[in-house]
């Protein structure tokens, strides 16, 4: 029996290898590729975590000039890992070269806030970076390029990129709130002592910041051998769900920095793969995920900001889940995070001017 299973696995692997050779490779850009998140992300992409076990890829890795040697070291490791799906690696500090022909762009690079810096100083630095990268994507990327902004302030960086890459469809520019979504699922699974796959349909509304609203009002739990039930009824502790649960998810990034003296990298890279995979491949029926997308006014949120909504994905397109009931508690939280995004937009535009 054991030898039969081994031969079956070998046959499946041979089939996947042959099938992948027949598919055109997808060009995936990772900016800030020599950094923590980039270092965690590129092997996941090369292994097929982002686009599937049969999709060959060409990695484009971009970073700033002082990180050029480290970037070369990352390329060396990718070669040494001998990933079957990795067809080629482009390593550069030139944004024009990096963006040439890319089908997917994961924007990890940005300017982090340093001690003593004012909020406007950080915003000004990132506005400058994303304006330049938007211009390069506009001119060099594939026409259907899908963009995911990871670097903070992610929502507003994505908005700036959208403004300066007008030929890229607005539905193709998104930001990462899947990390917060996954954190919410993780907290619920730990609280209930169940596997995380048994929880679904949490929502992250708004900004990828401490004002985000992790909402469980429409989330459900489906035990392996049981019927689907609302999370609220299974947890049976509204006080925890309305207070500690929300703040834990909102402040999880800070807690990780305190614990490991470095920011979230592995979980952020994994969430970026989840975001792109569901966007490209599609979400399972009856399941939604959270994505920062360009607001169309749904749920009373002002159009013109990148806001995290519950979405479903099909055939490479996302759609905002409509018709969910919003209670007064949720309305207040959703509006508060929307106001922060409007304020960030105003600040970003003042930096442009």
Pairing relationship of beta strands 146-149 and 104-107 according to DSSP bridges? parallel
Q: Which residue has the tokens 């340093």?
A: 114
Q: Residue 153: is the preceding peptide bond cis (ω within 30°)?
A: yes
Q: Which residue has the tokens 């834990």?
A: 248
| Kind and range of the H or E run holding 281 | helix 266-281
- Distance (Å, whole) CA 133 – CA 128: 9
Q: Which residue has the tokens 């006014």?
A: 297
Strand partners, 27: 58
Q: Which residue has the tokens 């796959």?
A: 197
Q: Find out whether 85 and 47 touch, Cβ atoms under 8 Å.
A: yes
Torsion of CA 153, 65, 115, 111, to 10 degrees: -10
In 3-74, DSSP assigns E strands to 26-31, 57-62
Tokens read off for 279: 């966007």
- Distance (Å, whole) CA 215 – CA 240: 12
- Distance (Å, whole) CA 39 – CA 329: 40
Residue among 153, 218, 147 nearest 351 (CA): 153
**Is 181 an active-site residue?**
no
Q: Find out whether 47 and 77 touch, Cβ atoms under 8 Å.
A: no
* Half-sphere exposure in the Cβ direction for 205 (13 Å, CA): 25
Of the candidates 181, 208, 218, 275, the residue annotated as catalytic is 208
Residues designated catalytic: 208
């Amino acid at each position: 029996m054991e030898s039969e299973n081994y031969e079956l696995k070998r046959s499946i692997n041979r089939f996947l290898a042959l099938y992948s050779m027949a598919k055109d490779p997808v060009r995936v850009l990772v900016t800030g590729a020599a950094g923590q998140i980039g270092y965690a992300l590129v092997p996941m992409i090369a292994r097929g975590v982002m686009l599937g076990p049969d999709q060959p890829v060409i990695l484009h890795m971009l970073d700033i000039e002082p990180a050029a040697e480290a970037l070369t070291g990352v390329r060396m490791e990718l070669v040494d890992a001998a990933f079957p799906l990795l067809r080629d690696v482009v390593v550069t500090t030139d944004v024009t070269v990096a963006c040439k022909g890319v089908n997917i762009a994961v924007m990890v690079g940005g300017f982090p806030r340093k001690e003593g810096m004012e909020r406007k100083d950080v915003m000004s630095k990132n506005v400058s970076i994303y304006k330049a990268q938007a211009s390069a994507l506009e001119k060099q990327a594939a026409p259907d390029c899908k963009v995911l902004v990871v670097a903070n302030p992610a929502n507003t960086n994505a908005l700036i990129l959208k403004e300066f890459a007008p030929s890229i469809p607005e539905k193709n520019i998104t930001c990462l709130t899947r990390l917060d979504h996954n954190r919410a699922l993780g907290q619920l699974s730990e609280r209930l002592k169940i596997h995380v796959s048994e929880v679904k349909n949490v929502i992250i509304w708004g900004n990828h910041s401490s004002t985000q609203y992790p909402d469980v009002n429409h989330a459900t739990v489906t035990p392996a051998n049981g019927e689907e039930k609302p999370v609220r009824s299974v947890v049976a502790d509204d006080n925890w769900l309305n207070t500690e649960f929300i703040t834990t998810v909102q402040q999880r990034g800070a807690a990780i920095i305190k614990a490991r003296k470095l920011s979230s990298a592995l979980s952020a890279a994994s969430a970026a793969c989840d975001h792109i995979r569901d966007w490209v491949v599609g979400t399972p029926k009856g399941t939604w995920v959270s994505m920062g997308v360009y607001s169309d006014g749904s749920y009373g949120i002002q159009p013109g900001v990148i806001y995290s909504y519950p979405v479903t994905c099909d055939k490479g397109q996302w759609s905002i889940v409509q018709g969910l009931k919003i209670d007064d508690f949720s309305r207040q939280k959703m509006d508060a995070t929307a106001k922060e995004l409007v304020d960030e937009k105003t600040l970003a535009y003042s930096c442009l001017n």
